[in-house]
Structure 1
């Protein structure tokens, strides 16, 4: 989500949020890198599977095919999400990212079902793996390339907060572990003759893919349904607002995200006897503080006279 917090994929320390222009550039490069990596790995894995007939390698090839489809879809979605707000879309096009992420989750789930059917078939009819060394070499290349891509995607997520890049990064993080599992399956099957290792690890990979698809789908659904920011971020907003010496209270705080943009709406309670000019100046100062803490945020503030006799809920 596009907010003030630093999201990570892999537990890397936070990085300062980029401005709109820098965010757009990083997001575009992340989609280009994702698409190029997927297409390269598809070519290598197709050749390796044709020569080895490994189910684990086939599972990785299927996932890479979906990676390529999803990466192209993400590339188009990110490009569209970066289009400025227009007359028909006053709040911008950020939710295209969530739609693309939801579509990616469906593709990933479909690949997992395919792997389950293939693994069950191979469990009842185990087959040896040939040219295991070639498969191992291809998967080693795949492991290195995927690791490099996830590091770059993780950096872009921390700088931009893009839900589309985040879903792609989570997907490729699952690929990273999948590639390691495929290497293990190839070693156990080709070197030790454990033919059941291939389908069993295929089933394990399918389960991991489903878990990743669920996480991606939930994030996309939350954005499409305008879910509020986490409670710690909402508390942070309230604390920042109340730091202003002339702010007497805050209520009706509403938040949501759309792509890289965080939308913050609130009612500011101030002295009812001050001039409209002064009230506007206070609201402008509060807005500037919030936009500093939450880059790419759109802040809407309504000024209300402070009422001492009753306490208005902040989150109503």
Structure 2
């Protein structure tokens, strides 16, 4: 569960993560560019393409997160959180294009092989890449736990796949050095397939949020349990949920004793709202009060 933090602290962490991601991506692009120039390795090219993709995604995140942090205004009453999902959707497009390009280049190298050079430099660059990526993932993991940012989650997925990809590059370079040069383009093709597969998950999550998909069933059940757990709540209906960036929007109707005062029903709604927000930090909760039995009455009228 995401820890409750202030808006200022959340903004600081998101900016820190996006700035760090851009910085690491630029450094790795420079290092891998030199390594590919010296080695002509397709597996290093695979890693370079991945880093180029990461840098584009990270720059996109940098602007998207800053926009998503803008408070709600008169034209955007629900805030700007979906900018993160738009960024994640764009990232998936970058990923697909990069994966297809990589597979094409690797297939071309299989048909027209070329010897690898400067194995030592290539290995050194990939070891440095793994260390830098691991450090960035530690920072991103901390930010995700505190903010639950969709854009940072998508960015972290890139770098987690990088760890596997870069480890494979080292294996491919070692095999090429010891007489297995065909493993280099074959690994690049495998990396391209994996990159395309990872794009599927990012695109699905982004579409779900942009299309206002309901929160997961277990989270909805938790919300219902909290609302129904209040001793004066007779029932709950018309629960509607969706997510926008770091905010979960929750709407519901509470069934209360029809004879109680408006003041008391409002107090009960406030208590239920506070309980939900204690369990789901940064939630935006809207509650409508109905007299108990109203749903059954409406259903009977529809049958007549």
Q: TM-score, normalised by structure 1?
A: 0.92
Following superposition of structure 1 onto structure 2, how do residues 33-72 of structure 1 map, counting pairs within 5 Å? 33-72=20-59
- Find 1:116's aligned residue among 84, 88, 103: 103
Three-state SS of the structure 2 residue aligned to 1:272 is coil
Task: Kindly indicate whether residue 122 of structure 2 is the aligned counterpart of residue 139 of structure 1.
Answer: no
CA distance in 1, matches of 2:57, 2:280: 29
1:265-299 deviation digits (Å, cap 9, x = unpaired) = 00001100000000000001111111111111100
| Counterpart for residue 246 of structure 1 | 232
Task: Kindly indicate whether residue 241 of structure 2 is the aligned counterpart of residue 271 of structure 1.
Answer: no
Three-state SS of the structure 2 residue aligned to 1:300 is strand
Q: Kindly tell me: are residues 63 and 312 of structure 1, through their superposed partners in 2, closer, same or farther at Cα, counting changes over 3 Å?
A: farther
Indicate conservation of the 8 Å contact 1:251/1:312, yes or no.
no
Indicate conservation of the 8 Å contact 1:17/1:159, yes or no.
yes
Structure number with the higher helix fraction is: 2
Following superposition of structure 1 onto structure 2, how do residues 298-309 of structure 1 map, counting pairs within 5 Å? 298-307=284-293
| Counterpart for residue 226 of structure 1 | 212
Q: Structure 1, unaligned stretches of length 5 or more?
A: 1-5, 7-14
Following superposition of structure 1 onto structure 2, how do residues 92-241 of structure 1 map, counting pairs within 5 Å? 92-190=79-177, 192-241=178-227
Q: Which runs of at least 4 in structure 1 moved beyond 6 Å after TM superposition?
A: none
Q: TM-score, normalised by structure 2?
A: 0.95
Superposed displacement of residue 101, structure 1: 0.4
Aligned residues: 299
1:74-133 deviation digits (Å, cap 9, x = unpaired) = 000000000000111110000100000000000011000011111111111222210001
Indicate conservation of the 8 Å contact 1:162/1:260, yes or no.
yes
- Find 1:89's aligned residue among 73, 76, 98: 76
| Counterpart for residue 12 of structure 1 | none
Indicate conservation of the 8 Å contact 2:3/2:281, yes or no.
no
CA distance in 2, matches of 1:311, 1:215: 44
Q: Kindly tell me: are residues 285 and 182 of structure 1, through their superposed partners in 2, closer, same or farther at Cα, counting changes over 3 Å?
A: same
Indicate conservation of the 8 Å contact 1:17/1:158, yes or no.
no
CA distance in 1, matches of 2:220, 2:56: 37
**How much is the aligned-residue C-alpha RMSD, in angstroms?**
1.5
Task: Kindly indicate whether residue 276 of structure 2 is the aligned counterpart of residue 290 of structure 1.
Answer: yes
Superposed displacement of residue 309, structure 1: 8.4
By relative contact order (CA 8 Å, sep 6+), the higher-ranking structure is: 1
CA distance in 1, matches of 2:147, 2:297: 37
Indicate conservation of the 8 Å contact 1:98/1:259, yes or no.
yes
